[in-house]
């Protein structure tokens, strides 16, 4: 699997399909989130999937185990390559999601959103740092038997050390010199991959570029360099 999944955050199915067409062959797949799914539903996902790239459904399911299982069953015909649930939903919810998902769908647990920092966690009543919360939720996800987690690049090295065969998704990735926008815990694509990420989720640096194909090609080229080459 190629490591870059392009986050297409738009309610416009035609725009999403156009971006998928432009990055086809370079991206590992397309990530579709709540904004897109709420506007276009299953038919929109199928429209983007026509470009024959893996689809990452980032719906962050979070409810009682039975409800999440039924939701995953309803999504199964879309054959997503990756599907997110909230790890904070607990072990039984994550187990139910994994049991209901197609075998080849990787179910991953969202730990701490990249838009949150320690102050945000404290305001919500969660003690400790983002890294500590990620470690707690990663342990729950592993015990639940799902495939991996979603965490920021700041925590991925520790997550890889604790879960060597885990499928680790890193969002909030920004090439050097680009705007971080609403993200608070960001790293470069190269750093995230070197630290153990399985998949990098990159949105606006590609989708908002004048030439999305060139933007992702430049990032992909940097990732093919050895660490020594990248430092020169």
Catalytic residue (choose from 22, 31, 60, 184): 60
Cα separation of 185 and 19, whole Å? 26
- Establish whether 60 is a catalytic residue: yes
Catalytic residues: 60
């Amino acid at each position: 699997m190629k490591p870059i999944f392009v986050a297409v955050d738009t309610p416009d199915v035609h725009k999403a399909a156009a971006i998928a067409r432009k990055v086809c062959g370079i991206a590992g797949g397309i990530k579709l989130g709540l904004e897109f799914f709420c506007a276009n539903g299953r038919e929109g996902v199928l429209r983007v999937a026509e470009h024959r790239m893996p689809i990452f459904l980032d719906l962050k399911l979070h409810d009682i185990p039975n409800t999440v299982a039924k939701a995953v069953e309803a999504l199964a015909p879309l054959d997503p390559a990756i599907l997110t649930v909230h790890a904070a939903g607990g072990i039984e919810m994550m187990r139910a999601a994994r049991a209901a998902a197609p075998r080849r769908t990787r179910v991953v647990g969202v730990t701490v959103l990249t838009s949150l920092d320690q102050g945000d966690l404290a305001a919500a009543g969660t003690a400790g740092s983002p890294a500590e919360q990620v470690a707690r939720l990663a342990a729950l996800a592993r015990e639940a038997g799902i495939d991996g987690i979603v965490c920021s690049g700041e925590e991925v090295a520790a997550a890889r050390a604790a879960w060597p065969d885990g499928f680790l998704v890193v969002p909030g990735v920004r090439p050097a010199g680009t705007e971080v926008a609403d993200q608070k815990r960001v790293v470069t694509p190269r750093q995230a991959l070197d630290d153990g990420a399985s998949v990098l989720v990159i949105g606006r640096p590609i989708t908002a570029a004048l030439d999305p194909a060139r933007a992702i090609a430049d990032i992909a080229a940097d990732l093919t360099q050895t660490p020594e080459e990248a430092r020169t």
